[in-house]
């Protein structure tokens, strides 16, 4: 079944429902710092069958992505076994408690129940486990007002595109790899060389709903984010990068590859934000040492306080663009010209 887009009367304006933001964020703070930013018992196991009823193209795009394909082949790779061996672990990466946090999607029949690995990095890892929000989300007849429906779904854990901080936070939780032992002992990469525009507008892109109602009804064009949106993505992405690098530094207990990598990541994000200008409300919170971002182990409280402070500011960039206009306009000249992976057409 395809949804009749012409029947949804309200326009698909981004950022229209500011109240949605508040609700989504308060629902989030309780579990925000955990890497496992989802609970397996909130994940519906038959995701593809459900979502494709109305988002067929998004599903097709996802099926071409590394996030999907990794499920079929990562566990067979020698590197995966090598990381586990270095950590002194046996078994498959698909069943390892730590690895599954970032590499897969799990589902469980009840809270605390035995989780089962069912997919790669799926819709619900980014948009939130759908058990609670799916019914409301698709109830276009019961709740005809779109803003109201979205606010309700957000309060039940759906992560929407109006709130790019909350949606993109997922990326950084996985792509920063704030796990000391995994990096130092397992020799796992200390995160990806991640920039939000380049990494979201390539193979991850699945943007079929926006623009005029006619195009929406057909859902046949995978739109690139607009220039303005990309500028927001860029600035929010750099703030998130800095926040999560500091969260990484917070958990460092010793010298080593991990500490160095998180320090370099923090410095790079700091420099990028400084270059944009107008980001003092973020930069002033970073622990410094002789003009550089402080890189030290055993400093949990200081780094966490800084990361929390940066989060508070970073969450407001999209809803308060006037305040960040210097950085947002400077971002125009920083946007990448090439994207990560092939766009689904």
Asked whether the beta carbons of 201 and 269 are under 8 A apart, the reply is no
Asked whether the beta carbons of 108 and 40 are under 8 A apart, the reply is yes
For residue 171, state whether it binds ligand HEC (rule: CB under 6 A). yes
Q: Which of 15, 41, 45, 70 binds ligand HEC (CB under 6 A)?
A: 70
Q: What share of the chain is helix, strand, coil (3-state, %, to 5)?
A: 50, 5, 45
For residue 101, state whether it binds ligand HEC (rule: CB under 6 A). yes
For residue 208, state whether it binds ligand HEC (rule: CB under 6 A). yes
Asked whether the beta carbons of 24 and 160 are under 8 A apart, the reply is yes
For residue 98, state whether it binds ligand HEC (rule: CB under 6 A). yes
What does the block give as tokens for 1? 């079944």
CB atoms inside a 10 Å sphere around CB 193: 11
143/278 with CB nearer ligand HEC? 143
φ/ψ of 277, rounded to 5, equals 85, 155
**Residue 286 Cβ, how far from ligand HEC at the closest point, in Å?**
22
122/285 with CB nearer ligand HEC? 122
Q: Name the residue among 279, 196, 286 with its Cα closest to residue 249.
A: 286
Distance CA 280, CA 273 (A): 9
The alpha helices in 287-324, defined as continuous H runs, are: 300-314
Q: Which of 106, 107, 138, 231 binds ligand HEC (CB under 6 A)?
A: 138
Distance CA 339, CA 65 (A): 13
165/283 with CB nearer ligand HEC? 165
Q: Which of 195, 203, 241, 318 binds ligand HEC (CB under 6 A)?
A: 203
74/272 with CB nearer ligand HEC? 74
Angle at the Cα of 128 (from 236 to 219), degrees rounded to 5?
80
For residue 43, state whether it binds ligand HEC (rule: CB under 6 A). no
**Residue 57 Cβ, how far from ligand HEC at the closest point, in Å?**
9
Q: Which of 74, 151, 293, 317 binds ligand HEC (CB under 6 A)?
A: 74
For residue 67, state whether it binds ligand HEC (rule: CB under 6 A). yes
Distance CA 263, CA 294 (A): 8
For residue 149, state whether it binds ligand HEC (rule: CB under 6 A). yes
172/270 with CB nearer ligand HEC? 172
Distance CA 71, CA 249 (A): 30
For residue 24, state whether it binds ligand HEC (rule: CB under 6 A). no
Q: Which of 23, 24, 28, 225 binds ligand HEC (CB under 6 A)?
A: 225
**Residue 168 Cβ, how far from ligand HEC at the closest point, in Å?**
6
190/293 with CB nearer ligand HEC? 190
């Amino acid at each position: 079944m395809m949804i009749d887009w012409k029947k949804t009367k309200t326009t698909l304006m981004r950022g229209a429902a500011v109240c949605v933001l508040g609700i989504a964020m308060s629902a989030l703070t309780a579990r925000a710092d955990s890497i496992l930013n989802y609970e397996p018992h909130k994940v519906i196991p038959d995701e593809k069958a459900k979502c494709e009823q109305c988002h067929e193209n998004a599903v097709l795009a996802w099926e071409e992505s590394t996030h999907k394909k990794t499920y079929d082949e990562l566990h067979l790779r020698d590197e995966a076994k090598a990381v586990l061996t270095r950590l002194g672990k046996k078994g498959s990466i698909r069943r390892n408690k730590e690895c599954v946090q970032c590499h897969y999607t799990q589902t469980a029949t009840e809270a605390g129940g035995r989780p089962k690995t069912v997919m790669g990095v799926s819709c619900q890892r980014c948009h939130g486990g759908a058990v609670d929000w799916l019914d409301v989300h698709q109830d276009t007849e019961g709740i005809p007002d779109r803003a109201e429906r979205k606010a309700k779904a957000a309060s039940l854990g759906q992560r929407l595109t109006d709130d790019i901080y909350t949606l993109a936070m997922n990326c950084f939780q996985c792509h920063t790899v704030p796990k000391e032992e995994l990096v130092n002992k397992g020799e796992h990469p200390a995160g990806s060389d991640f920039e939000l525009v380049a990494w979201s507008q390539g193979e991850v892109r699945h943007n079929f709903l926006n623009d005029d109602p006619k195009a929406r009804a057909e859902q046949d064009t995978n739109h690139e984010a607009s220039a303005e949106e990309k500028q927001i993505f860029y600035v929010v992405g750099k703030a998130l990068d800095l926040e999560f690098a500091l969260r990484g530094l917070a958990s460092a207990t010793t010298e080593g590859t991990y500490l160095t990598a998180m320090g370099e990541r923090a410095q790079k994000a700091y420099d990028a934000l400084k270059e944009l200008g107008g980001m003092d409300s973020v930069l002033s919170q970073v622990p410094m040492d002789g003009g550089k971002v402080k890189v030290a182990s055993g400093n949990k409280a200081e780094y966490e306080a800084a990361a929390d402070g940066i989060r508070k500011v970073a969450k407001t960039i999209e809803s308060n663009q006037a305040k960040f206009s210097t950085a947002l306009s400077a971002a125009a000249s920083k946007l990448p010209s090439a994207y990560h992976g092939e766009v689904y057409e």
